[in-house]
Amino acid sequence: MHVVHFSDTYLPRRDGIVTSLRTLARALPPHGYTSTLFAPRYPGSAGDRDLELRPLASLPSGVAGLRLAAWPRSRHVDAVAAVDPDVVHVHTPGPAGLLGILAAQRLGLPLVLTYHTDLHSYANAYRIPTRVLRAGVAAYRRRLGSPRPEKRIQRRHDLLDHGNAVLLDRADALVVPTRAVLRRVELPVDPGVLSVIPTGVAHRAVPVGAAAEFRARCGLGTDPVVLFVGRVNREKGIGLLLGAFAQLREAIPAARLVLAGAVYDQGWLRALLAAPGLEGRVVCTGELPGSDVAAAYAAADVFAFPSLTDTQGLVLQEAALAGLAPLVVDAELNDVGALAGSAHCVSPTVNAVAGGLERLLADPAFARGVALRARTSALAHTPDRYAAAMAGVYERAIARRLGRAPSLAA
Q: Does domain 2-200+383-401 have CATH number 3.40.640.10?
A: no
User: Three-class SS string for the chain?
Assistant: CEEEEECCCCCCCCCHHHHHHHHHHHHCHHHCCEEEEEEECCCCCCCECCEEEEEECEEECCCCCCEEECCCCHHHHHHHHHCCCCEEEECCCCHHHHHHHHHHHHHCCCEEEECCCCHHHHHHHCCCCHHHHHHHHHHHHHHHCCCCCCCCCCCHHHHHHHHHHHHHCCCCEEEECCCHHHHHCCCCCCHHHEEECCCCCCCCCCCCCHHHHHHHHHCCCCCCEEEEECCCCHHHCHHHHHHHHHHHHHHCCCCEEEEECCCCCHHHHHHHHCCCCCCCCEEECCCCCHHHHHHHHHHCCEEEECCCCCCCCHHHHHHHHCCCEEEECCHHHHHHCCCCCCCEECCCCHHHHHHHHHHHHHCHHHHHHHHHHHHHHHCCCCHHHHHHHHHHHHHHHHHHHCCCCCCCCC
Q: Are the C-beta atoms of 352 and 243 separated by less than 8 Å? A: no
pLDDT of residue 328: 98
Q: Where in the chain do CATH 3.40.50.2000 domains reside?
A: 2-200+383-401, 210-378
Q: What are the distances in angstroms from CA 147 to CA 140, 154, 311?
A: 11, 17, 29
Separation of alpha carbons 133 and 130, rounded Å: 5
pLDDT of residue 150: 79
Q: What are the distances in angstroms from CA 83 to CA 11, 21, 100, 155, 268?
A: 21, 18, 13, 41, 44
Separation of alpha carbons 186 and 193, rounded Å: 14
pLDDT of residue 404: 56
Separation of alpha carbons 252 and 235, rounded Å: 27
Cα torsion for 217, 220, 226, 227, to the nearest 10°? 0
Q: ∠ at Cα 37 (145, 264), nearest 5°?
A: 90
Q: State the pairing for strand pair 67-69/58-60.
A: antiparallel
271 CB-near residues (< 8 Å, 6+ apart): none
pLDDT of residue 62: 83
Looking from the CA of 171 toward its CB, the CA atoms found within 13 Å total: 29
Separation of alpha carbons 163 and 108, rounded Å: 22
Q: Which CATH class is domain 210-378?
A: alpha beta
Q: What does the pLDDT profile of the chain (410 residues) look like in tens digits?
A: 999 999 999 998 889 999 999 999 999 999 999 999 999 999 988 767 779 999 999 999 888 889 999 999 999 999 999 999 999 999 999 999 999 999 999 999 999 999 998 888 777 777 788 898 999 999 999 999 999 887 888 888 888 889 999 999 989 999 999 998 888 888 888 888 999 999 999 988 999 999 999 999 999 999 999 999 999 999 999 999 999 999 999 999 999 999 999 998 999 999 999 999 999 999 999 999 999 999 999 999 999 999 999 989 999 999 999 999 999 999 999 999 999 999 999 999 999 999 999 999 999 999 999 999 999 999 999 999 999 999 999 999 999 988 554 443 32
